[in-house]
């Protein structure tokens, strides 16, 4: 193992380190991925509120006839 390459990318590239860098780099942070995660969270939040609103509306529709006609 070339410790210098692992430490600062200097010296002779180490075969295993280079392979792992290439393999794992796509899992690293990019600003666009961060923005996607934020958008994904906002979508999930909107979906949850949408479901709650739809459930409340449905409960209202079902309950109104019962309230009118005791």
Partner 1 sequence: MLLTIESRAEETALVRAAQSGDRAAFGALYSSYGRMVHGILLAHVDYNDAEDLMQDVFLRAMEQVTGLREATAFGAWLGAIARRAAFDHHRRKRPMPMLIDRIPGGKRPDGEAFEVLEIIQRLPESYREPLILRLVEGMTGPEIAARTGLTPDSVRVNLCRGMKLLRDQLERRK
Q: Which stretch, 31-39, 48-56, 57-65, contacts partner 1 (CB under 8 A)?
A: 31-39
Residue nearer to partner 1 on the CB measure, 26 or 65 = 26
9: left (phi over 0), alpha (psi -120 to 50) or beta: left
Work out the number of other CB atoms within 10 angstroms of the CB of residue 46: 10
56 binds partner 1 (CB under 8 A): no
Separation between Cα atoms, residue 56 and residue 41, nearest integer Å: 23
Contacts with partner 1, residue ranges (CB under 8 A): 1, 3, 6-9, 16-17, 20-21, 23-29, 31, 33-34, 36-38, 40-41
């Amino acid at each position: 193992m070339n410790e210098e390459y692992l430490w600062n990318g200097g010296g002779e590239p180490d075969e295993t380190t280079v392979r792992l860098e290439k393999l794992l780099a796509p899992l690293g942070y990019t600003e666009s991925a961060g923005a996607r995660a934020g958008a994904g969270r906002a979508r999930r939040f909107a979906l949850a509120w949408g479901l709650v609103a739809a459930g409340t509306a449905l409960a209202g529709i079902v309950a109104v006839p019962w309230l009118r006609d005791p």
